[in-house]
């Protein structure tokens, strides 16, 4: 049943819908929720419609059909100002960079969704930010950064998750009696997959029934070239086409390829089946600008979740089902990440303590995780979207 219509009839989203990237999943759920509120979503960037679940795609058939007309209008403007006659949500990085065409589009209200992995905002970015009518921060950490730099037109509006996908459910038992550790997020130093490898490598010395299941696909492998900066893993290995050779890299990094499952570029709607088979999720990010979609989905699915207690994760770590990594050392800057103040380096020893606890009492850890799944229900998209929508109205 559709929700009560808002005072706006259309809502523009200036970035691509997809099911294989965090921003893409964000856009997808905004569009789906807009439809539930009798609002027509207007997508202003080429989208990856084939990655959607067929029912999701069918629900947004009108937006997909309208895409060529919209993109042709933007192209025809040739960089000149083009008026969008409805509120526009704009995806912004820490420097308030956005889709190249965003600066040429005018709208009755421009609302930035700001996700930053940096605690500093350069002067040029501050000036760009002041052009926005409103700024949505996706974590308490980001909100504090914006306010510290003088922004007043800011509100904290968390991202959501889809409970029709991410909820506890029965296991299929596909992995037998193996102790399954899940790690997700595109491979990069910031996400801390090198910490995961180091921890699992050590944990396997104690237990030979451990399987690592990972979804680390990264369409931009150049952003992962500094993954070995902390000295925990070997240098990244690339294939001839430039993609990451996970088999060779994991072997060189001492993890090997026995009891390792690479999920590849899996779509978001395929993840629930994976998560229900997991005993624990390990997400020791050095930094998260927002609350981390993968972490929220793991918690919602009733998976015991080990999280680094830094940056955007701080909004999640007090939920039951979370195992917070409180020991956070300073992070070494790298060629890809020169500014890392307020980031955190998780302790492998602390990770091993949690893994051992969960391994030895899986029933209790699962009961705790189920309570976490209940506690996070206030963060569903259905409950978060109206708050985001408010910021799109004058």
| pLDDT tops 70 at residue 4 | no
* Mean pLDDT taken over the chain: 95
Q: How far apart (Å, rounded) are the C-alpha atoms in residues 321 and 141?
A: 22
Mean pLDDT of 2-8: 62
Mean pLDDT of 252-259: 91
At residue 394, the pLDDT reads 78
Helix (H, G, I), strand (E, B) or coil at 298: helix
At residue 352, the pLDDT reads 98
Q: How far apart (Å, rounded) are the C-alpha atoms in residues 245 and 325?
A: 30
The reply to whether domains 10-157 and 179-378 share a CATH topology is yes
Burial class (CB within 10 angstroms; exposed 0-12, middle 13-18, buried 19+) of 172: exposed
Q: How far apart (Å, rounded) are the C-alpha atoms in residues 286 and 366?
A: 26
State residue 391 phi and psi, 5-degree precision. Answer: -75, -15
| pLDDT tops 50 at residue 27 | yes
Mean pLDDT of 233-255: 94
* Residue of 306, 346, 342, 349 whose CA lies nearest to 324: 306
Q: How far apart (Å, rounded) are the C-alpha atoms in residues 14 and 44?
A: 5
Mean pLDDT of 164-190: 96
62-104 pLDDT tens trace: 999 999 999 999 889 888 889 999 999 999 999 998 877 777 8
Q: pLDDT above 70 covers what percent of the chain?
A: 98
Residue 321's pLDDT band (boundaries 50, 70, 90)? confident
CATH topology of domain 179-378: Rossmann fold (3.40.50)
| pLDDT tops 90 at residue 179 | yes
49 contact partners, CB below 8 Å, separation of at least 6? 17, 57, 60, 64
336-372 pLDDT tens trace: 999 999 999 999 999 999 999 999 999 999 999 999 9
298-308 pLDDT tens trace: 999 999 999 99
Q: b or e along 51-62 (b: 16 or more beta carbons within 10 Å of the residue's beta carbon)?
A: bbeeebbeebee
| pLDDT tops 60 at residue 5 | no
122-175 pLDDT tens trace: 999 999 999 999 999 999 999 999 999 999 999 999 999 999 999 999 999 999
- Class of CATH domain 10-157: alpha beta
End-to-end CA distance of the chain: 27
Helix (H, G, I), strand (E, B) or coil at 280: strand
Task: For strands 328-329 and 345-346, give the pairing.
Answer: antiparallel
For the chain, the structural domain boundaries read 10-157, 179-378
Q: What is the pTM of this model?
A: 0.95
278 compared with 319, residue with greater pLDDT? 278
At residue 3, the pLDDT reads 55
At residue 320, the pLDDT reads 87
At residue 7, the pLDDT reads 82
Q: How far apart (Å, rounded) are the C-alpha atoms in residues 284 and 293?
A: 14
At residue 78, the pLDDT reads 83
| pLDDT tops 50 at residue 1 | no
Residue 273's pLDDT band (boundaries 50, 70, 90)? very high
Q: pLDDT above 90 covers what percent of the chain?
A: 91
At residue 6, the pLDDT reads 56
């Amino acid at each position: 049943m559709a929700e009560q219509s808002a005072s706006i009839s259309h809502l523009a989203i200036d970035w691509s819908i997809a099911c294989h990237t965090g921003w893409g999943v964000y856009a997808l759920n905004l569009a789906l929720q807009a439809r539930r509120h009798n609002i027509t979503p207007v997508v202003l960037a080429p989208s990856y419609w084939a990655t959607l679940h067929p029912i999701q795609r069918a629900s947004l058939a009108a937006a997909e059909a309208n895409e060529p007309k919209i993109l042709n209008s933007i192209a025809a403007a040739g960089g000149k100002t083009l008026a969008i006659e409805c509120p526009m949500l704009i995806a912004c990085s820490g420097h308030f960079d956005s889709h190249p065409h965003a600066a040429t589009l005018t709208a009755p209200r421009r609302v930035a969704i700001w996700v930053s992995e940096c605690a500093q905002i350069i002067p040029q970015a501050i000036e760009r930010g002041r052009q926005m009518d409103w700024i949505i921060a996706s974590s308490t950490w980001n909100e504090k950064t914006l306010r510290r730099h003088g922004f007043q037109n800011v509100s904290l509006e968390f991202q959501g998750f889809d409970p029709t996908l991410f909820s506890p459910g029965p296991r299929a038992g596909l992995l037998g009696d193996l102790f399954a550790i899940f790690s997700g997020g595109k491979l990069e130093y910031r996400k801390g997959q090198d910490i995961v490898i180091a921890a699992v490598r050590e944990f396997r010395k104690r237990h030979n029934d451990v399987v690592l299941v990972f979804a680390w696909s990264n369409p931009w492998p150049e952003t992962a070239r500094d993954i070995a900066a902390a000295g925990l893993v070997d240098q990244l290995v690339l294939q001839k086409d430039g993609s990451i050779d996970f088999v060779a890299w994991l072997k060189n990094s001492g993890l090997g390829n026995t009891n390792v499952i690479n999920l590849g570029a899996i779509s978001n709607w395929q993840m629930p089946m994976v998560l229900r088979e997991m005993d624990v999720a390990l997400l020791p990010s050095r930094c998260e600008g927002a609350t981390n979609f993968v972490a929220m989905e793991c918690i919602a699915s009733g998976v015991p979740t080990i999280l680094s207690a830094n940056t955007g994760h701080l909004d999640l770590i007090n939920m039951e089902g979370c195992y917070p990594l409180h020991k956070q050392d300073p992070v070494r800057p790298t060629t890809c990440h020169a500014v890392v103040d307020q980031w955190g380096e998780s302790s492998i020893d602390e990770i091993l303590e949690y893994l051992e606890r969960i391994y030895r009492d899986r029933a209790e850890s699962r009961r705790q995780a189920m309570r976490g799944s209940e506690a996070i229900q206030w963060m569903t998209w259905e409950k978060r979207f109206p708050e985001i929508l408010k910021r799109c109205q004058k």
